[in-house]
Amino acid sequence: MKKYFISFALFLFLVSGIQAQNADSAWVRENYYKIERMIPMRDGISLFTAFYIPKDSSEKHPILFNRTPYTCQPYGEDKFSPRLYMTYWMNYLKEGYIIAIQDVRGKWMSEGDFIDIRPFNPGKKGKDFDEASDTYDAIDWMINNIPGNNKRVGVFGISYPGFYSTMAALSGHPALKAVSPQAPVTEWFLGDDFHHNGAFALMDGFSFYSGFGKPRPKPTTQVSPGFDFKSQDNYDFYLKNGALKNFARLMGDSIAFWKDLYDHPNYDDWWKARNPMNFVSNVKPAMLVVGGLFDAEDCYGAWNLYKAIEVKSRNTDNRLVMGPWFHGGWGGRGDGSYLGNVRFGKKTAEYYQRNIEIPFFNFYLKLRGTVSEIAEASIFFTGENEWRRYEVWPPKDMTSTALYLSAGESLSFAPLTDKAKLEFKEYVSDPAHPVPYTEDVHFGRTREYMTDDQRFASRRTDVLTYSTDVLTEDLTVGGPLVADLMVSLSTTDADFVVKLIDVFPDEFKYDEKEMGKGNGLNYPMGGYQMLVRGEIMRGKFRNSFEKPEPFVPGKITEVKYTMPDVAHTFKKGHKLMIQVQSSWFPIMDRNPQKFVDIYKCDDSDFQKSSIRIYENSKILLPVLK
């Protein structure tokens, strides 16, 4: 009977949801109409743009603009996008916004050639173009040709559209009043999507680009199919295919950007030209930079774009929001109350939408309401599961505090003796048996791994685990996390993965009534080792991303790198844990542990490495009072 009741309740919930969506869909069609236009750019090509326009002509309406390489479908003026009524975008329609969605240059129904992260050209003249000028030309056409607009425009977008949002902010168009880059593609060598500190994000890169990167000779409404993996086990598939040069053969010769990745193994001028943070000076629109604490794809971009604007464009109204979200988790893909087994106790996505994003655009585009309640930095701290508001990020009261990787698998805030500095723990890193990023057998990369239980890794002999005693008071960290390792190798290269982990008490259980059940309702949460932050460093780039250097076997060497910011409270009764390992597979490619060009090396170049981590290694925690 209970099973029947649950099934019937679920049925009623689904029916009510469908009815609500149908009602919203009907409302949109009753109150909006759609037009499609090819908007001319300064060099003569035109970009396909869909407009959803209010039928109400009693007042002028602002334009909210989204530029995307992922299609503005459905195509046809009689076909309306479900995102209008199935996500929080419905709120903008209720507010009377004109919604504009554009296929970027060279994608889908737009003309021209597509270039990945097309470099910004600050010295454009005449018919010279970039993504900023395409935005400028589109906005200029819209405010002069779309009926009923109030000549105030905002731009927003998640992920790659977040990159185009940043480019929009550099356009300089006077009608562009507010921009929100969300999980923005920002730096594809140091931290987002394709690389982390020079290590190649193999699984995401290959699975995504084998479809997205296929050339499109002419405008089309059809999606390009990706690679046919014929596998259900990503670890097995990527391990069996071996060195990166083998993946180049699988990808084939038609995808130009994949070749570019292989041709630029170091952080050269080609990469630097594609870093928009180099150009965010004199940004005119108000900025709302948004990201997720647990974004598996773009955890680096939001934190660092905000900081770059703060430094290079001091007069810009620039704000930051970071919630407990996976990639796009604030934008209608769930309510933000949990991720995997970990619960956050609040509908954080709904809070953001109602209290931050919509008021932000309403203020700048409709000249209504206020932004006085939107903090400079609105950051959700997991662990304590509360929003915090700051006047600056990182917070003024942040103290970088050394936590040493000490003897007996312990962590200590106490300085080490000179003798202890020479002590070490050792493990063997074997590329033939790399450390998996999760214990599950599956194919697609999960978004939940960013908070996954790390007990599986603690049990491996090639993972070093260090832990504090049970905390007697709360410990809150907020800001950039720095790994400062003293290491020696038996080989000339290796990777280093450092993970910051919250160890739950053995008796821990969630209250079944707590919002955001996730998988935690049935998962054994006692002793759970929650990944708070993990990041990799390709060892040869330890001194310079431009000029890699081999390790001298046996020589004690410092490997120091900054990890993406954290915002977490380790609660009283919990423990803080650090894990160190040298592979993280297959989200990151395997280092052959030999100083070579990894994109061109052979399977025979892969070798074991004996790695020592010395006790004067430390983690610099951004401790808040």
Task: Give me the DSSP letters along 229-275.
Answer: ---S-HHHHHHHT-SHHHHHHHH-SS-HHHHHHHH--S--HHHHTT-
With a cut of 90, say whether residue 18 has pLDDT above it: no
Least Cα distance to 424 among 361, 381, 382, 487 occurs for: 487
Could you read off the pLDDT of 383-436 as tens digits, one per residue?
A: 999 999 999 999 999 999 999 998 789 999 988 777 777 899 999 999 999 999
* pLDDT, the chain, mean: 94
Could you read off the pLDDT of 444-454 as tens digits, one per residue?
A: 999 999 999 99
pLDDT category at 8 given cuts 50, 70, 90 is very low
The span from the CA of 114 to the CA of 325, in Å, is: 30
Place of tokens 């949460």: 525
Report the pLDDT averaged over residues 467-491: 98
Could you read off the pLDDT of 319-361 as tens digits, one per residue?
A: 999 999 999 999 988 899 999 999 999 999 999 999 999 999 9
Q: In the chain, what percentage of residues exceed pLDDT 90?
A: 91
Q: What is the pLDDT of residue 11?
A: 37
Instruction: Parse the chain into domains and list their residue ranges.
Output: 24-161, 196-271, 399-624
CB environment 2-11: b (16+ within 10 A), e (fewer):
eeeeeeeeee
Q: What is the pLDDT of residue 201?
A: 97
Could you read off the pLDDT of 127-140 as tens digits, one per residue?
A: 999 999 999 999 99
pLDDT category at 520 given cuts 50, 70, 90 is low
Q: What is the pLDDT of residue 252?
A: 92
Architecture (CATH level 2) of domain 196-271: Orthogonal Bundle (1.10)
448, 449, 451, 456: CA torsion to nearest 10: 130
With a cut of 70, say whether residue 3 has pLDDT above it: no
What's the predicted TM-score (pTM) here?
Answer: 0.95
Q: What is the pLDDT of residue 499?
A: 98
98-107, 297-306, 347-356, 408-417: least confident range? 408-417
For residue 284, the one-letter residue type is K
Report the pLDDT averaged over residues 88-105: 98
With a cut of 80, say whether residue 294 has pLDDT above it: yes
Instruction: Measure the N-to-C terminal CA separation of the chain; round to a whole number of Å.
Output: 52
175 or 518, higher pLDDT: 175
pLDDT category at 512 given cuts 50, 70, 90 is confident
pLDDT category at 1 given cuts 50, 70, 90 is very low
With a cut of 50, say whether residue 114 has pLDDT above it: yes
Given 3.40.640.10, 3.40.50.1820, 3.30.1330.20, 3.40.605.10, which CATH number is that of 24-161?
3.40.50.1820
Superfamily classification of domain 399-624: Galactose-binding domain-like (2.60.120.260)
Ramachandran assignment for 554, one of left (phi > 0), alpha (psi -120 to 50 degrees), beta (any other)? left
Could you read off the pLDDT of 535-567 as tens digits, one per residue?
A: 999 999 999 999 999 999 999 999 999 999 999
Could you read off the pLDDT of 575-621 as tens digits, one per residue?
A: 999 999 999 999 999 999 999 999 999 999 999 999 999 999 999 99
The span from the CA of 160 to the CA of 460, in Å, is: 37
Report the pLDDT averaged over residues 271-277: 97
With a cut of 90, say whether residue 107 has pLDDT above it: yes
Instruction: Give the pair of three-digit tokens for residue 299.
Output: 């955890």
